[in-house]
Structure 1
Amino acid sequence: MRITGYRTLTTVQDWGRPIGDANGVVADGLVRVPIVVVETDEGITGVGLGPHTEIETLFAALEGEDPRCVTALYDRMLRWTFKAGHAGAVFGTIGALDTALWDIKAQAAGEPLWRLLGGRDRRVPAYASGLDIALTDDELVAAYRTYAGRGLRAAKIKGGLDVDRDRHRLALVRDVLTEAGGGARPGLMLDVNETWTRKQAVRYVSELERTFDLTWVEEPVRRWDVEGHAAVGRGVRASVATGENLTGLEQHRPLIAAGAVDVVQTAGGWGVTHFLRVAALAHAHDLPVSPIGTSPVGLLHAATSVPNHLVSELQDLRPAVGVTLDLHVEDGAYVLGDGPGLGLRLDETAIAASGHLLPHPSAGGTHIRPVDAGRRLHAAEPGTASDSTVSR
């Protein structure tokens, strides 16, 4: 079997409501979802969700190769980008191609990826994550009641701008999950998306911990700040979670080596091989791993095969337009199917028809850091920065 070509698509995730975090808000809830399809001479195609940046350069490292040599080809893509570096969106393209290769390998073996990777249990524990910073109280409660209806008993809210507001919103979500769980105490997490300084983080979380027993605080300071994460970890009771924006094993290593992270995260867009390597590094330090993403389907399969998976993020309960996943959510877990490969199928007609919904790549949202992040003197409303909010 040989790799013969690729094609790229872009569909849309339609949340049907505002989504956002401390950095910005997408008022109409429409988010671009780039897709890579890798073709072979035997008619098997693999699908990966992730960017297309520099894909021509990266595909040159794969063309004519046997797609089943996945980890060797992953390292080959890294070598082909080592001069300019593989961070950022380029790492996402490597991850998308890597995931597509794993999809092909499992399809060729006639097995779901989770079984090919050595998983025993198709159930992957999940927590609710509504990207909810812009929701009203009633909308927040309604969203988490929907998650609770699928058996989820842990939730992560977006915050970091106003401690009183976050305290109130955490209480609302806690009450929803407690009621659904028959009085059992739920897991509560707060994700602030790198919006604090070290001192802000300790003061803010310590104030919340007067009321709540937080499971973790996520990305409390800048992603690369090893000493900052360690300082936060020393100053609060909650675990420190980070890693979703670290693009490469070498970026995780200093955080783990310094004891600066308690829950090691990796994003669905960075690929299966990256996750497996990060999981092994974390396991060597007795740390758990937790996949992140809107549709981290590749990492869900991989999570079944590692000994230190803790829980995976569940965002929108609906897949992107034109995407069908062989999985469902029940009793607080993703349940993976028996279809070969990732179990991810594309309706390219529906994807093409959704083109008019695609936001422009330059549109604002959560990916633009506000000018005052990390240096606010008072509480801020979500989406107040002029360059971080978009309504189309």
Structure 2
Amino acid sequence: MRITGYRTLSTLNHWGRPVGDANGFIADGVTEVPVVLLETDGGLTGVGLGAHGDAQRIFPALEGQDPRAVTALYDRMLAHTFKSGHAGTTFGTIGAFDMALWDLKAKLAGEPLWRTLGAADRFVPGYASGLDIALDDQELAEHYTAWAERGFTGAKLKGGLDTERDVARLTAVAEVLRANTSAPALMLDVNEAWGPHQAVRLLARIEDSIELAWIEEPVRRWDVPGNRAVARAARAAVASGENLTGLEQFRPLLAADALQVVQTAGVWGITHFLRVATLAHGHDLPVSPVGYHANPLAHAAAAVPNHLVTEVQGTETPVGVTVDQVIADGGIVLGDSPGLGITIDESAIGELDRTGAWSHPDGPHVRPATAGLRLVPAQGPVGTEDGS
């Protein structure tokens, strides 16, 4: 079997609520979901979800190759871009193709990817995550009540703009989750909104009021001494890594004991997650995938020995996308469909008459000029912001 071509699509996810973080939010809750379809001469098509802006540049590394050689082809894609580097959209495109390759490999074996990767259990423990910074108090409680009804005992909130608001919201969600446990696991994600000295002071203020399992991205993703300083001062673990691309970016952080929970983004692909998980395992650290549509990394999470918990951001699926899994019992129950269990309805996607808005100037993918530089809480529609 040989790889013969690819197609790229873009569909939409309707979150049903505003979604975002300390950097901004999408008010209408409609965002784009890129899709890659990898074609073979054997009639099978692999599905990958994630950015495909560099598909034309990356695909020559795959054309004519046997898709079963997944890890070798991953390295071939990296080698194909070594002069210009593999960060950002390039790494995302490699990840989307890699996801499609693993989907093909499991389909060729006639089994779900979690079995191909050697997992024994189809259940993947999860925590609830609402990208919820723009929700008011009632909306927040209603949102996490729905998660509690699905058996979840942990939740991650977006924050970092106002410590008093963060504590109040964490407390409210803890009360909701106590329907399932006397000690809910609470995480706070500030999405790199703090400077190192801010992070130490503001996190101490939060931890005086509530126990956190981890603080996520308290400072810039590459800041080894900053993350280490937070880790030394905090009772909570420091979690980060979703925006790091390649093992070379993780090594200095792990060598300095600057992270206690190692994360990877769902859009960076299966092979990247597996390699990061192995690196983390070598440091006796847990790994936790950051959520993405259809939870493709859940298959790989089920197969690694140091998986802690997977972020689950929603129960809806994008337009034209179906997935063989169930969100229940506080996690993801993977199905038996071959591959990732993801099916794409191209006709439904073709009928869409609008685009999504992750890259909107007010959205969470655009870093505000004042991030890390605020002295007082900033007034705004999603609350206020503490600085130092």
Decide which of 209, 216, 231 is 2:207's aligned counterpart. Answer: 209
Question: What is the deviation of 1:384?
Answer: 7.7
| 1:347 CA drift (Å) | 1.0
Q: How does 1:1-392 map to 2 (within 5 A)?
A: 1-178=1-178, 180-181=179-180, 184-295=182-293, 297-359=295-357, 363-381=361-379
Counterpart-to-counterpart distance in 1, 2:96 and 2:156: 26
After superposition, the Cα gap between the structure-2 partners of 1:56 and 1:135, relative to the gap in structure 1 and judged at 3 Å, is same
Cα gap change, 1:14/1:126 in structure 2, threshold over 3 Å: closer, same or farther? same
Whole-Å separation in 1 of the counterparts to 2:133 and 2:5: 41
- Listed as ranges, the gaps of 5+ residues in structure 1 are 386-392
Decide whether the 8 Å contact of 1:21 with 1:382 is kept in 2: no
Distance 1:252 1:370, change over 3 A: same
Question: SS where residue 25 of structure 1 aligns?
Answer: strand
Contact kept in structure 2, 1:229 and 1:261, CA below 8 Å: yes
2:192 alignment partner AA: E
Q: 1: distance between equivalents of 2:157 and 2:103?
A: 32
What is the TM-score of this pair, normalised by structure 2? 0.96
> 343-352 vs 376-385, which deviates more?
376-385
Contact preservation (8 Å) 1:267, 1:293: yes
Change in 2 beyond 3 A, CA 1:310/1:296? farther
C-alpha distance in 1, partners of 2:305/2:357?
Answer: 39
Compute the displacement of 1:219 (Å): 0.2
In the alignment, residue 344 of structure 1 is paired with which amino acid? Answer: I
* TM, length-normalised to structure 1: 0.95
Deviation at 1:65, TM superposition (A): 0.2
d(CA) in 2 for partners of 1:380, 1:362? 21
Q: Which digits, 9 at most, give the CA deviation of each residue in 1:219-275, with x for residues without a partner?
A: 000000011000000011000000000011111111111100000000000000000
Q: Who is 2:386 aligned against?
A: none
Tell me: CA distance 1:373–1:248, structure 2 relative to 1, closer, same or farther (3 Å). Answer: same
CA distance in 2, matches of 1:292, 1:362: 22
Amino acid at match of 1:194: E
Structure 1 Cα separation of the partners of residues 64 and 193 of structure 2: 45
Verify the 8 A CA contact 1:126 1:314 in the aligned structure 2: yes
Give the partner amino acid of 1:172.
A
SS in 1 for 2:220: coil
Take 2:123 and 2:117, find their aligned partners in 1: how far apart are those partners?
14
Listed as ranges, the gaps of 5+ residues in structure 2 are 384-388
- The letter for the 2-side match of 1:99 is M
- The range that moved more, 289-298 or 169-178, is 289-298
Partner of 1:390: none
Partners in 2 of 1:296 and 1:353 — Cα distance?
A: 21
Letter in 2 for 1:27: A
State the secondary structure of the residue aligned to 1:297: coil
Q: Aligned partners of 1:94 and 1:191: how far apart in 2?
A: 26
Q: Report the alpha carbon displacement of residue 380 of structure 1 after superposing the two structures with TM.
A: 2.2
Give me the whole-angstrom Cα distance separating, in 1, the residues matched to 2:144 and 2:214: 18
Aligned residues: 383
Paired residue secondary structure (2:198): helix
Paired with 2:382 and 2:275, the residues of 1 have a C-alpha distance of 39
Contact 2:35 2:47 in 1 (8 A): yes
Opposite residue 282 of structure 2, the aligned amino acid is A
Taking structure 1 as reference, are residues 260 and 383 closer, same or farther at Cα in structure 2, changes over 3 Å only?
farther
